[in-house]
Structure 1
Amino acid sequence: MRSRSVHQAALDVLMRVEPDDKCRATDALLADWRAGVLPAVPAGNDTEAVREAGRPPRPELVPPQQVPLRKAGSVEGHAALLHAIAHIEFNAINLALDCVHRFRALPADFHDGWLVVAAEEAYHFRLVRERLRSLGFDYGDFPAHNGLWEMACKTADDPLARMALVPRVLEARGLDATPPIMAKLRAIGDRDSVAVLEIILRDEIGHVALGDRWFRILCAERGLEPEATYLKLIDAFDAPRPRPPLHVEARRAAGFSEAELAGFGAKAPSVTRPQ
């Protein structure tokens, strides 16, 4: 009997609905892969793209402009802020699993990287959900939008576009947004959530760097100049261009070049001249 592939196993976890079940299954998937139980199948992207990943009935999904804005100073606003982060992390599990399921023609190193990302995103989700529960709320208690997953659907036919527009655009925006969120949480005395965001920021630099690495590999295989191609894909898919303020150090660590950062409006690094 033929063994189930890592791609089939990733699809099974991707379609799981209950968050705790999905997180446990993601951890087990990585362990099985590392143990050699699940082979990669060197074949084309011959599966239909997943258009709706497994997710619980709540939160209610609404257009981004309909997600209410709340001030973090109130308990409800504090919880809504954490809920938005939890929702991003839950979606990020699905995005990483979809890479493994969908882009099976890519090398085993690609699948290994995104399985690690999926497990780290599951860890992040659990950390943020614990903080949310400490305030008397839970995942699903606030409306959310589906922008991350919608971009996964738009880029389902091309791993180059996926690497450009999910890790290098949408997830990189998280690098920029995290320090201001941490400042808001410090201002209301939530040091425990700040500590969680420090973990998330550290790991997310690695996730964006993984996307950057594979974006550049795929560009090289196709004879494309990466940075010009990146801008063309942003325009072609109507994705948001990076806008200041940027977390320049995090973006630099994730693989963005000085020319790119300058093109996005980032200030050039200061140079200390010898006396």
Structure 2
Amino acid sequence: MEIRHFAERVLLSDSLEEKLRPVEEPFTDEHPGDPLRVEEPTRPANLQFAPRRSAPSMPHPLSFKDQQKRAVAHHIMANHELQALEVMAYMLLAFPEAPTEFRLGMTTVMADEQRHTRMHQVRGAALGIKFGDLPVNCYIWKKALSFENELDYLAGLPLTFEGRNLDHTIEFETFFLEAGDPKSAAMMRQIHKDEIGHVSFGIEWLRKMKAPGDSDWEAFCKHLHWPLRPFKAKGDTFQDEARRAAGLSDEFIQQLRESGPDTGVDE
């Protein structure tokens, strides 16, 4: 399958099943096409982006004993995964001149995002809420509209949103275990392992594409757009070893650990 055709299917289909349908055949990149940018992904009616603050917030972990609250958490995380998938498709269409090796790597990550979305979809339904029963936000998507090049994407999504998920997945594994839900906890551990690979993709290509002379940290900070900043790339339980496994340097990890709300990025 041509990468462009796959990206168009993910970004422009109004069928969730089509967006999440795995690609079994090898990818080709012979016809990347002209740049294409859209203001919003095409989605089914029940997954249209809701007005600001009308989508539910993540329930407090202490409420996770309530099955319904855990279902809400999976619904929210399914939307996060779907937005990440759509942002990746957007990047493939907006920057068709990117190296084929980069674009092929993106399709591998996208297969994981499809699977993660389905995992949350299935688990949420088992707990009582079907994906699309609740309003969904567009936070990740809106941040992607500021990406002006591949480095902005690498800093913003793999190294910030997915970097933060290195911590959040372990935190939610603990929350689900404490709530007596080992199935949800096992899901989060599997997603955590996949996120290590996604962050690895991010730092590998940041190093290949950054300006000569820039350190990893300098390139990362330089390509974040407000309100994204280094502080947003970590959760409450900082996972040093996962970041090392992803290939981040000890210096980068230490700078990230020490970063605060005003570190590294000008508004």
Which TM-score band applies after superposition, normalised by the shorter structure? Answer: 0.7 to 0.9
Amino acid at match of 2:12: M
Structure 1 residue aligned with 2:183, among 188, 192, 197? 192
The answer to whether residue 45 in structure 2 is matched with residue 51 in structure 1 is no
Cα deviation, 1:146-199, whole Å, max 9, x if unaligned, reads 1211122110x2111111111101111111111111111101211111111121
Q: Distance in 1 between matches of 2:10 and 2:221?
A: 33
CA separation of 1:248/1:198 partners in 2, compared to 1, >3 Å: closer, same or farther? same
- Return the letter of the residue paired with 2:42: G
User: Is the CA contact 1:120–1:203 (under 8 Å) kept in the aligned structure 2?
Assistant: yes
Shift of 1:75: 2.2
Q: Is the 8 A contact 2:200 2:247 kept in 1?
A: yes
Amino acid at match of 2:83: N
- Give the counterpart letter for 1:144 in structure 2: V
In 1, are the aligned partners of 2:155 and 2:220 still within 8 Å (CA)?
yes
What secondary structure, in the 3-state scheme, does the structure 1 residue paired with 2:227 have?
A: coil
Structure 2 regions of 5+ residues with no counterpart? 259-267
- State the distance in 1 between where 2:143 and 2:20 align: 22
Distance change in 2, residues 1:237/1:120 (3 Å): same
- In structure 1, the residue matched to 2:160 is 169
Percent of aligned pairs with the same residue?
26
* Structure 1, gaps ≥5 residues long: 267-275
**Aligned match of 1:246:** 238
Q: Which residue of the other structure, out of 4, 8, 17, is the alignment partner of 1:7? A: 4
How far apart in 1 are the matches of 2:159 and 2:145? 16
Is contact 2:35–2:96 with CA below 8 Å preserved after alignment?
no
For residues 43-64 of structure 1, what are the alpha-carbon distances to aligned partners after superposition, in whole Å with 9 as ceiling and x for unaligned?
7xx4132221122233453436
Structure 1, 71-80 or 46-55: larger mean CA deviation: 46-55
Q: Is 2:125 aligned against 1:125?
A: no
Deviation, structure 1 residue 15: 0.9
Could you say what secondary structure the match of 1:265 adopts? Answer: helix
Structure 2: distance between partners of 1:5 and 1:200:
27
Supply the distance in 2 between the matched residues of 1:97 and 1:223 (Cα, whole angstroms).
30
Instruction: Work out whether residues 221 and 229 of structure 2, in 8 Å CA contact, stay in contact via their aligned partners in 1.
Output: no
TM-score by length of 2: 0.84
Task: Give the corresponding residue for 2:29.
Answer: 39
Asked if the contact 2:46–2:133 (Cα under 8 Å) also holds between the matched residues in 1, the reply is: yes
Does the alignment pair 1:22 with 2:16?
no
RMSD: 2.5
Contact 2:72 2:129 in 1 (8 A): no
Q: Is the 8 A contact 1:227 1:260 kept in 2?
A: yes
Number of residue pairs matched?
252
Find the counterpart in structure 2 of residue 272 from structure 1: none
When normalised by structure 1's length, the TM-score is 0.82
Counterpart among 56, 69, 76 of residue 67 in structure 1: 56
CA shift digits 1:72-108 (9 cap, x unpaired): 2222211111111111111122122223222221222
Question: Please, which of 226, 230, 234 is the counterpart of residue 220 of structure 2?
Answer: 230
**Could you say which residue in structure 2 is the equivalent of 1:104?**
96
Q: CA deviation at 1:115?
A: 0.6
For structure 1, which segment, 209-218 or 59-68, has the greater mean C-alpha deviation from structure 2 after superposition? 59-68
